[in-house]
């Protein structure tokens, strides 16, 4: 994996990290159904074909099927010139699924020029980040919605970790510690890190500036504040208005660059962000990639 002069891996052109999203696209491989935590806003579906949002995929692929899908897409004249990134982002947590690692191994062996990208809740990062580094992961997204366990407890009802179930502030505390440790270690390896934060009015909006400072300090390159999609246990929570979202991003921008083109895409999106074309129902996390 090539690195830039800053020591970061070369992910030039990545549409979710400041590359030209009108020219460069990604393929998401929905190989990861299982998850180890429960976010209050998450509803995962594997059979949905008419919704466009994170956590949704038409069908779970095996690693071999995922490789075949990449072959198919890269054989298409139109798509092969667009696709720069192969991402695994769900519909569960990629790190809770061994298939994620096998898929990157297979796809990386045949298409080494595609940037390998992964999106995770971060719980299992401390124990997997070295494997990801060795597989040549170029970019990593960690969804961090809280810095303080008391706030996290309102978002994460429970966390399964090393065979035990932790709920409330205890679970949130464990998750947050692993997210921050994983972020720092990934950045040390040269993996380019983005932090996604779901803006949940009345729950975590007081934390966004603190999150941006902390993740910048630990080595994140960019942040993506995404509006809550009200569903599941947060179906009753009003999402932020576009104006409020922009206000929060502008505050965050004083600390760390903000990605503003996220379309909260599906776990099986293919093509340009927001314009998924051919194969968009073939194969991202429930909180966005
Ligand atoms: Fe996919 Fe995510 Fe990689 Fe992009 S998406 S795994 S970083 S290649 Fe992008 Fe989609 Fe927003 Fe994610 S627009 S939901 S930020
Ligand atoms: Fe798991 Fe992602 Fe759903 Fe949270 S949003 S419960 S991390 S799949």
pLDDT digits (tens, 9 = 90+) for 238-250: 999 999 999 999 9
Question: Quick check: is 176 in a domain?
Answer: yes
Question: Quick check: is 86 in a domain?
Answer: yes
Question: What is the reported pLDDT for 51?
Answer: 45
- CA nearest ligand 1 atom 7, residue: 289
Ligand 1 close to Cβ of residue 137 (< 6 A): no
Residue 5 has pLDDT above 80, yes or no: no
Question: Quick check: is 16 in a domain?
Answer: no
Residue 115 has pLDDT above 50, yes or no: yes
Question: Quick check: is 231 in a domain?
Answer: yes
User: Angle at Cα 2 formed by Cα 84 and Cα 25, nearest 5°?
Assistant: 10
Question: Quick check: is 157 in a domain?
Answer: yes
Ligand 1 close to Cβ of residue 87 (< 6 A): yes
What does the block give as tokens for 18?
């400041």
Give me the mean pLDDT over the 220-242 stretch: 94
Residue 212 has pLDDT above 90, yes or no: yes
Rounded-to-integer distance, Cα 228 and Cα 162, Å:
29
Closest by Cα among 110, 96, 102, 95 to 63: 102
Question: What is the reported pLDDT for 7?
Answer: 84
Instruction: Quickly list H helices, the chain.
Output: 63-75, 77-80, 98-110, 125-134, 149-155, 168-188, 208-218, 242-253
Rounded-to-integer distance, Cα 173 and Cα 151, Å:
10
Residue 52 has pLDDT above 90, yes or no: no
- Are residues 278 and 76 in contact, defined by beta-carbon separation less than 8 angstroms? yes
Question: Quick check: is 248 in a domain?
Answer: yes
Rounded to the nearest 10 degrees, the angle between the axes of helix 63-75 and helix 98-110 is: 30
What is the domain count for the chain? Answer: 1
Give me the mean pLDDT over the 268-272 stretch: 86
Task: Give the up-direction half-sphere exposure of residue 256: CA atoms within 13 A in the CB hemisphere.
Answer: 25
Rounded-to-integer distance, Cα 200 and Cα 229, Å:
9
Please state, as a whole number, how many other Cβ atoms lie within 10 Å of the Cβ of residue 84: 21
Question: What is the reported pLDDT for 57?
Answer: 63
Question: Quick check: is 19 in a domain?
Answer: no
Centre of ligand 1 to C-alpha 128, Å, is: 20
Question: Quick check: is 288 in a domain?
Answer: no
ipTM over 0.85: yes
Centre of ligand 2 to C-alpha 35, Å, is: 6
φ/ψ of 109, rounded to 5, equals -65, -35
Range of the domain at 56: 25-276
CATH number at residue 167: 3.20.20.70
| Pocket around ligand 2 at a 6 A CB cut-off | 35, 37-39, 42, 44, 55, 90, 92-93, 121, 285-287
Q: In what order do the strands lie in the sheet with 37-39?
A: 37-39, 156-161, 164-167
Centre of ligand 2 to C-alpha 238, Å, is: 20
């Amino acid at each position: 994996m090539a690195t830039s002069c800053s020591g970061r891996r070369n992910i030039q052109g990545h549409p979710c990290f400041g590359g030209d999203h009108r020219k460069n696209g990604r393929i998401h491989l929905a190989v990861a159904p299982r998850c180890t935590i429960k976010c209050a806003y998450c509803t995962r579906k594997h059979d949905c074909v008419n919704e466009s949002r994170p956590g949704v995929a038409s069908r779970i692929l095996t690693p071999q099927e995922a490789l075949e899908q990449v072959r198919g897409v890269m054989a298409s004249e139109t798509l092969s010139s667009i696709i720069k990134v192969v991402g695994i982002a769900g519909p569960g947590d990629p790190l809770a699924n061994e298939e994620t690692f096998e898929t990157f191994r297979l796809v990386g062996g045949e298409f080494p020029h595609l940037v390998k990208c992964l999106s995770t809740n971060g719980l299992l990062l401390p124990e997997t980040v070295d494997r990801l580094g060795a597989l040549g992961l170029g970019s990593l997204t960690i969804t961090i919605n809280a810095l303080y366990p008391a706030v996290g407890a309102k978002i994460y009802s429970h966390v399964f970790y090393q065979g035990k179930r932790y709920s409330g502030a205890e679970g949130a505390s464990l998750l947050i510690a692993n997210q921050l440790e994983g972020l720092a270690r990934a950045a040390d390896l040269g993996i380019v890190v983005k932090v996604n934060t779901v803006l949940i009015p009345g729950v975590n909006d007081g934390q966004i500036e603190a999150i941006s400072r902390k993740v910048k300090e630990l080595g994140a390159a960019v942040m993506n504040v995404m509006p809550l999609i009200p569903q599941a246990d947060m179906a009753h929570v009003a999402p932020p208005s576009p104006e409020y979202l922009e206000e929060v991003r502008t505050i965050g921008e004083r600390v760390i660059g903000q990605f503003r083109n996220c379309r909260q895409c599906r776990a099986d999106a293919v093509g340009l962000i927001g314009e998924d074309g051919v194969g968009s129902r073939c194969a991202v996390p429930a909180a966005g990639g």
